[in-house]
A and B are shown apart, each in its own frame.
Chain A
Amino acid sequence: MKARQKRLVFVGIAVLGVGVAASMALSALQSNIAYFFSPSQVHAGEHPADAVFRVGGLVVTDTLRREGDGLTVRFDVTDNAKIVPVSYTGILPDLFGEGQGVVARGRIGTDGVFYAEDVLAKHDESYMPPEVQDTLHTAHADGVVETAAPSAKPATMTVTQ
């Protein structure tokens, strides 16, 4: 029965390893996930107060401006219903632009400004992050007229599945 015992040892080690790895992975995951909220949800207060989360929508036209240091930018993000002001220090991705879809990751300050740690870049002009697509859809279905970002291209506004 020696060989069988050895095999049992192997199986035991494997099961133990998988168990430890799984529990480690799951507990680590809790502190490393970032939930997504639309500007409307942020206004409704559904976002966590002191944790990192993501907010996304379209960059409202004519809201992009630079602070004095030349590196901090401010812009508004909308889901066509509500607006969240975003502040980001650093270099924006190439495809960042007004009227474009964007996802920012960071936390919200007491002043109601979303301080982004990073801003999602994309490779393709016609690509829209799925979350942003969904939120725009929701706002549209809620009967909100496109008031917030009137100059954004209609093609990027009404998203059809």
Chain B
Amino acid sequence: MIPELGHFALILALLLALVQSAFPLAGSLSGNRAWMTMARPLAYGQLTLLTIAFAALVQAFLTSDFSVLYVAQHSNTLLPDIYKVSAVWGGHEGSLLLWVLFMAAWGAAVAAFSQNLPLAMIARVISVQGMITIGFLLFMLLTSNPFERLFPVPPEGQDLNPLLQDFGLAIHPPMLYMGYVGFSVAFSFAVAALIGGRLDAAWARWSRPWTTVAWAFLTIGIMLGSWWAYYELGWGGWWFWDPVENASLMPWLVGTALIHSLAVTEKRAAFKSWTVLLAICAFSLSLLGTFLVRSGVLTSVHAFATDPARGLFILIFLCIVVGGSLALYAWRAPEVSDGGRFDLLSRESALLGNNLLFVAFTVLVLFGTLAPLVYEAFNWGKISVGFPWFNKMFLALAPFLAVVLGLGPALRWKHDEPLRVLRSLWWALGLSIAVLALAATPMFDDGGLWVPVGLALAAWVTLSHIAIVRERLKHKGGLTNVRQALMADLRGSGRSFYGMVTAHVGVAVFVVGVTMVSSYNMEVDVRMGPGDSHEIAGYRFEFMGADQVPGPNYIAQRGEFHVYRGKREVAHLFPEKRAYLGGGMPMTEAAIDAGFFRDIYVSLGEPVGTDGDWALRLYYKPFVRWIWLGAILMALGGSLAVSDPRYRLARAGARKPAADSAAAAA
């Protein structure tokens, strides 16, 4: 009964989405206030219906209702309750439901928190959101209904893929989807602005916090995925340039370009058409990512069993969304005026550089990801693009990005003097060059060319940001009591500034992590028997043997290791190899001793011979945590920026009616 309620709620949500996409938009075009005011209640209604549908599916999982096909395929009575809930989005149908639920939640949030927006604008945004929701609900109801019944009812489910029975992966998809779907808000704002022909600084200001929040979620989502792959897959890598990973990286790259270009549009009313184009691209790439993951057209280590009909549906949907929005763009964008002029040495130029580099990198990643499809289409053979190619492309662009990143925030809008810039940044520049020289000397462990370059760039980004923070505080007259001045600034209008600084320092931290781990990483595959020991990077791993240990829904072979540095024991590790009772699939559970400056990592391969020997993989990973720490700082910076009071100023605006009618007339 409850699954049918959920199914029914989905159908109602589709009908509501039809109304939502038509009436508020029509109202905004004809000036019909009654139709426009429908927008908010419709957004809330959509959220209510989809919450009901989602709750129905969660309930089916918690009660192990195997008469529902999706539950029978992805759950099992032995599964711990927490994973029963995360199993809801462990497969295609459920993750799609989660996607539309988030879509509705973002819509409702826009409706609730944008009280200062002109009514016509909100009506258009909600309508565009409704159109996207129609696409996804149709997709779900036609090809992937999560509430489909199964008869006869099996006594036991098939179990969730053991790889997904993990905390990191339980929250990775929701974070990622919050980001993907969040870009739909930026997209809706852009399309709404195009429909209204009103692309101005105000539009950028409305759109900016939403975009930044979406970007922060996506950052965390990608970071969790990387972290999960690191500890769960047992390969010790943190990024594989796999098509599915690239699918999430591309919207992030364009999203990063977008939040920077929005800044220019808000502050200087420039880059308007470009910003709109980026907003369209960010969401289109999110959809493309979904298509790549769900259609199975690419060979991926992450690929799940797929259905060609679904791929076709998403492809058609993608064409409608991309084609429609680009057509609208081509029709409307030329009318958009061109905004402020700027000189070669100005913050606009630096942000333009940022945008070009990010877009160039996105194009390269897209190219590398789709190259196998292109080759196949032209009958040039079946290829795969190796990850060294992606690394090369990243290394070719990243240094420029870091140089611009250190310089840009120190520049003034519109025009700056080279001498003034040099005066404020000379010591940051000098110290970075010193780092470069120091790291290049042989006394520093030889890690190749990239160690000095990477560390110097990280130093440059960090130091130049210290310089601009110092300058800002000096302007506020607070260099005598830095802490007090900083707190006052944070309480006042400085949050978006410090958010930016935090995020940029996050980039520096990330760069240090990547540089160190790729230059000094050590790994070795060895065969060890009980009592054997092996040393890498000054750490001695002593293998004590492996035992059989039962878990809640699996049986594990558990190895025991003592890790010594010199005479001191630094870690006691228990890597596992699990066999899940629900399915025959084995699972490696690596044991990691995490540290701020290094990780020690052991994973069990398989038993060899009859004497209790094992094939093992041992790793030493310096600074690997910094990679994720950097991502966390970026997301934190984004959140801090959004909390800037500037974005809340006009919430209690009393000028609403006037603005509404003006916008409706436009």
Contact = CB atoms under 8 A, between A and B. Distances in A.
Interface stretch (B364-372, B447-455, B647-655): B364-372
B81 interface: no
B371 A92 contact: no
A34 B305 contact: no
A52 to B, nearest CB: 8
B382 A131 contact: yes
B356 A14 contact: yes
Given A33-B384, A70-B613, A123-B163, A92 B606 contact: yes
Contacts of B367: 25
Contacts, number: 117
B551 interface: no
A70 B615 contact: yes
Contacts of A10: 352
Contact of B304 (A24, A103, A127): A127
A52 B383 CA distance: 11
Given A6-B344, A71-B527, A66 B608 contact: yes
B485 to A, nearest CB: 38
Contacts of B385: 29, 32-33
B382 A35 contact: yes
B360 interface: yes
B606 A91 contact: yes
A38 B32 CA distance: 64
B389 interface: yes
A14 B296 CA distance: 35
A14 B352 CA distance: 10
Interface in A112-136: 120-127, 129-131, 134
B302 interface: yes
B606 A123 contact: no
Nearest to B529: A70
A124 B583 CA distance: 11
Interface in B548-603: 583, 585-588, 603
A36 B381 contact: yes
B525 A129 contact: no
Given A32-B385, A70-B615, A126-B305, A18 B360 contact: yes
A44 interface: no
Contacts of A103: 299
Given A66-B608, A91-B617, A34 B304 contact: no
Minimum-distance CB pairs A-B, first 7: A91-B605, A32-B389, A36-B382, A70-B527, A70-B608, A126-B305, A33-B383
Given A25-B368, A103-B299, A134-B382, 8 more contacts: A14-B356, A21-B364, A32-B388, A69-B527, A70-B613, A91-B617, A94-B587, A129-B299
Interface of B: 161, 163, 233-234, 296-299, 301-305, 308, 341, 343-344, 352, 356, 360, 364, 367-368, 371, 375, 381-386, 388-389, 392-393, 396-397, 525-527, 583, 585-588, 603, 605-606, 608-609, 613, 615-617
5 contacts: A3-B341, A89-B525, A120-B301, A123-B301, A130-B296
